Structure 1
Amino acid sequence: MRIIGGEFKGRHFSPGNSFKARPTTDFARENLFNILIHRIDLNEISVLDLFGGTGSITLEFVSRGCEKVTCVEKNYRHFSFIQETIKKLGVEKAVHLIKGDVFRFIEKSAGKYDLVFADPPYDLPNLETLPELIFQNDLLNPGGIFILEHGKTNNFSSHPRFSELRKYGSVHFSIFSQEKD
């Protein structure tokens, strides 16, 4: 795993060969952040990273100046790897790491975020419910963005908050927008 841009650009972290998470590819992550830096000031937003996995998205946000990132990961081994990497970088103040189930977190969270990113396993049985859960539970600030990474078999274009689809090889990002007040 490599951080693509920002303060920690080029830093490598290896979760090991037996790690079960599928990290977002460098190519897809770089293109995603190219989109984001033209839309929002990363220094001034609060981010929620669901299904943290290797922590690559969380660390990319922090590396690019985001001071408030909440990362939720259920798997103990993945959680421990993210925690260890955060300590190595010395960014404990910027990241609120939660070990827990994403669906329970969404249901109980009272927080609001400017950007929510979710990278669930592509074969997650209830993956298609995520956009509606994010909006039903009011997790986005006005004008906020929800980005869902998924495989080619999902199509969210009929969702009322869907705004665009970006494809980078086998990685698909569906982007949804919260209305501004």
Structure 2
Amino acid sequence: MRVISGSLGGRRFNPPNNLPTRPTTDFAKTGLFNILNNHFDFSELSFLDLFSGTGSISYEFASRGTSRIVSVDQDRGAVEFIRKMKEEWKIEAIDIVKNDVFKFLAYNKEQFDVIFAGPPYPLPQIDELPGLVLDKKILKKNGWFILETNQHHKYPQFTELMQVRNYGQTHFHIFSPEHGLKELD
């Protein structure tokens, strides 16, 4: 696995094989960050990474200059790996929270510009995530919530859904309370 672009671009990281994660592919990650690059100045963002796993998405935001990153995962091995990479690469911007994502969302009051959730695809509560994030009002004005799923998840009931981007088996559902139903360029 590698960081695609930015100050850490090209750096490789090798998470332990026993982590219960499904990392976002480089192909999907490249597509997602091409979209984000056209809409955000990373140096001005705050970012919440739910189901952080290996930390891959958090590293991409850090590499592009995001100064406030919160990475949440309940798996001890994942949290230890992110902490190891944070120290090894001297990434000051990442705060790591070892907690169940749903418990974190219940008590979190901080708002973020971008929230990314890459949950396990078979997670029974996966379809609850858009409502939880949007109802909690933890997105800043013009913020985006990006939910990574496979092709079996659809969210037409949300007017905040701006678009779905497909990269092979990976689907990114992009929600924004301020831009409901607006197409991305």
- Normalized against structure 2, the TM-score is what? 0.94
Unaligned runs of 5+ in 1: none
Dislocated runs of 4+, deviation >6 Å: none
Aligned to 1:87: 87
**How do 1:132-147 residues align onto structure 2 when only pairs under 5 Å count?**
132-147=131-146
Across the aligned residues of Structure 1 and Structure 2, the Cα RMSD in angstroms comes to 0.9
SS of equivalent residue, structure 2 residue 153: coil
**How do 1:50-69 residues align onto structure 2 when only pairs under 5 Å count?**
50-69=50-69
**How do 1:1-181 residues align onto structure 2 when only pairs under 5 Å count?**
1-91=1-91, 93-179=92-178
What is the CA-CA distance between 1:18 and the residue it aligns to?
2.2
d(CA) in 1 for partners of 2:153 and 2:17? Answer: 28
- Normalized against structure 1, the TM-score is what? 0.96
d(CA) in 1 for partners of 2:63 and 2:11? Answer: 10
Moved more, 9-18 or 139-148: 9-18
What is the CA-CA distance between 1:156 and the residue it aligns to?
1.1
d(CA) in 2 for partners of 1:17 and 1:101? Answer: 21
d(CA) in 2 for partners of 1:157 and 1:123? Answer: 20
d(CA) in 2 for partners of 1:45 and 1:78? Answer: 24
SS of equivalent residue, structure 1 residue 156: coil
SS of equivalent residue, structure 2 residue 79: helix
What is the CA-CA distance between 1:138 and the residue it aligns to?
1.0
Name the aligned partner's letter for residue 24 of structure 1. Answer: T
d(CA) in 1 for partners of 2:124 and 2:16? Answer: 27
Query: What is the total number of aligned residue pairs between the two structures?
Result: 179
d(CA) in 2 for partners of 1:149 and 1:76? Answer: 22
Task: Write the deviation string for residues 74-108 of structure 1: whole angstroms up to 9, x where unpaired.
Answer: 000011001100111101x2011100010011110
Name the aligned partner's letter for residue 4 of structure 1. Answer: I
